[in-house]
Amino acid sequence: MLAIIGGTGLTQLANLEITHRQVMRTPYGEPSGPMTFGTIKQHEVMFLARHGYGHTIPPHSVNYRANLWALRDQGAQRVIAVSAVGGIRADLVPGTLVVPDQIIDYTHDRAFTFFDGNEQAVTHIDFTLPYSERVRQELLAAARHAGEACADGGVYAATQGPRLDTAAEVNRYRRDGADMLGMTGMPEAALARELGLEYAAIAVVVNPAAGIGSSTRAIELDQIGPVAQTAMARVRHILECVVECDGAA
């Protein structure tokens, strides 16, 4: 089954015909909210709002382990994560959709692995390519089918939050090779890999990163909401096409 994790601007799927919700408890605590089950174009989909359905959980407090565990427990095999990001690369202007292919992790003090504790064997995962290429290509194909422009590839800098970054920090990320920055990409992607889930992300650029363009002096926070609202309608269209293509396969 396909699972969708909604981020900022996507706390619900308007095109999801809900059949039921289920409260979950996991060995790692409770996820961000009940699992929402339903159909898109008569195909089953599972949905979870990463920050809670009232958008009340900040990025550093999200129970990423419980979220991914609950999705797999309920039959998810593939996960598409939707995230709002700030654009660093010149072409990633507000409103741009991106399917990233790499991650740099700048987060700290988050529960970042399932293989932790005295009774656990030391376990390593290969993370050379952090996103499932199969799911990435499904997203890009769906975007083409939907007639929605979507950039292929980019390096996602996962930052700690919840505060936004300084211009100097953004310069550092740029020097490190990052193209965009967000606060939820890690440890979500790594935990999905540990569980054997095929995971990819679609990132929505909602503002230029600090020190860039219109954010040279300050980030215009009042502009983020309208940009996200318009862009998320395009994301929903792409997700609809992902499900339709699944059904036709």
**Number of residues that make up the chain:** 249
Residue 42 half-sphere exposure, CB side, CA atoms within 13 Å?
2
- The confidence score (pLDDT) of residue 121 equals 81
Q: What is the pLDDT of residue 19?
A: 87
Three-class secondary structure of residue 205 per DSSP: strand
pTM: 0.93
DSSP state of 183: S
Pair 104, 176: CB distance under 8 Å: yes
pLDDT at 13: 65
What averages of pLDDT result for each successive group of 10 residues across the chain (249 residues)? 80 72 94 91 88 91 97 96 96 98 97 85 93 97 96 98 96 98 98 98 97 95 92 91 71
Q: Note the pLDDT of residue 249.
A: 43
Give CATH for domain 2-248. Answer: 3.40.50.1580
Q: What is the pLDDT of residue 69?
A: 97
Domain boundaries, the chain: 2-248
What DSSP string describes 50-91? TTTTTT---GGG--HHHHHHHHHHTT--EEEEEEEEEE-STT
Q: What is the pLDDT of residue 10?
A: 62
